[in-house]
Chains A and B, each alone.
Chain A
Amino acid sequence: MGYTVGEKILLAHAPGAKSIAPGDFIMAKVDFCFGNDITAPIAIQEFKKLGKKKVFNQKRIALIPDHFLPAKDMRSANQAAVLKKFAKEYGIVNYFEIGEMGVEHALLPERGLILPGDLVVGADSHTCTHGALGAFTTGVGSTDLAYAMATGQCWFKVPETIKLVFKGRTRKWVCGKDLILHAIGDLGVAGARYKSLEITGDTIDQLPMDDRFTMCNMAIEAGAKNGIICADKTTESYVKKAVRKYKQQRKAYKVYKSDEDAVYADVREYNTSKLEPVVASPHLPSNALPISELKNIKINQAVIGSCTNGRISDLKQAAAVLKNRKVDPNTRLIIIPATQAIYKEAVQEGYAETFIKAGAVFCTPSCGPCLGGHMGILSEGEVAIATTNRNFVGRMGHPKSFVYLSNPAIAAASAVKGKVAHPADL
Chain B
Amino acid sequence: MKLKGKVFKFGDDINTDEIIPARYLNTSDPDELARHCMEDADPGFVKRKQSGDIIVAGENFGCGSSREHAPIAIKASGISCVIAKSFARIFYRNAINIGLPIFTCPAAALALKQGCQAAVDANNGTISKSGQKKIYQSEIFPGFIRDIMKTGGLMAYARKSK
Q: Measuring CB to CB, which residues of chain A are less than 8 angstroms from any residue of chain B?
A: 25, 38-39, 41-42, 45-46, 49-50, 67-68, 72-73, 75-76, 79, 122-125, 127, 139-144, 146-147, 150-151, 155, 157, 189-190, 193-194, 223, 225, 284, 371-373, 390, 392-395, 399
Minimum CB–CB distance for B162 against chain A, Å: 8
Given the complex of chains A and B, what is the CA–CA distance between A122 and B23 in angstroms?
Answer: 21
Given the complex of chains A and B, what is the CA–CA distance between A141 and B66 in angstroms?
Answer: 5
Q: Are B153 and A143 in contact (CB under 8 A)?
A: yes
Residues in A neighbouring B154, C-beta threshold 8 A:
143-144, 146-147, 155
Residues in A neighbouring B17, C-beta threshold 8 A:
371-372, 390, 392-395
- Nearest A residue to B153 by beta-carbon distance? A143
Q: Are B26 and A68 in contact (CB under 8 A)?
A: yes
- Nearest B residue to A82 by beta-carbon distance? B28
- Nearest B residue to A124 by beta-carbon distance? B66
Minimum CB–CB distance for A105 against chain B, Å: 12
Please tell me the size bucket of the interface on B. 35 or more
Q: Are A155 and B89 in contact (CB under 8 A)?
A: no
Query: Is B22's beta carbon under 8 Å from chain A?
Result: yes
Stretch in contact with the other chain, from B56-64, B73-81, B108-116, B117-125: B56-64
Excluding A143-B154, A225-B89, 17 further A-B contacts by CB distance (< 8 Å) are A25-B144, A41-B28, A49-B155, A124-B65, A141-B66, A141-B98, A146-B154, A147-B158, A150-B158, A155-B144, A157-B142, A190-B59, A190-B60, A390-B15, A392-B64, A394-B40, A395-B22
Residues in B neighbouring A50, C-beta threshold 8 A:
155, 158-159, 162
The 7 closest A-B pairs by CB, nearest first: A141-B94, A75-B26, A25-B144, A143-B97, A190-B60, A141-B68, A125-B66
Q: Measuring CB to CB, which residues of chain B are less than 8 angstroms from any residue of chain A?
A: 12-13, 15, 17-18, 21-23, 25-28, 40-41, 43, 59-60, 63-69, 72, 86, 88-90, 93-94, 97-98, 142-145, 148, 153-155, 158-159, 162
Q: Are A193 and B145 in contact (CB under 8 A)?
A: no
Minimum CB–CB distance for B58 against chain A, Å: 10
In-complex Cβ contact of B18 among A75, A190, A394 (8 A): A394
- Using A189-B13, A373-B22 as known contacts, say yes or no to A140 and B60 having CB atoms under 8 A apart: no
Q: Are A392 and B28 in contact (CB under 8 A)?
A: no
Given the complex of chains A and B, what is the CA–CA distance between A417 and B111 in angstroms?
Answer: 49
Q: Are A45 and B28 in contact (CB under 8 A)?
A: yes
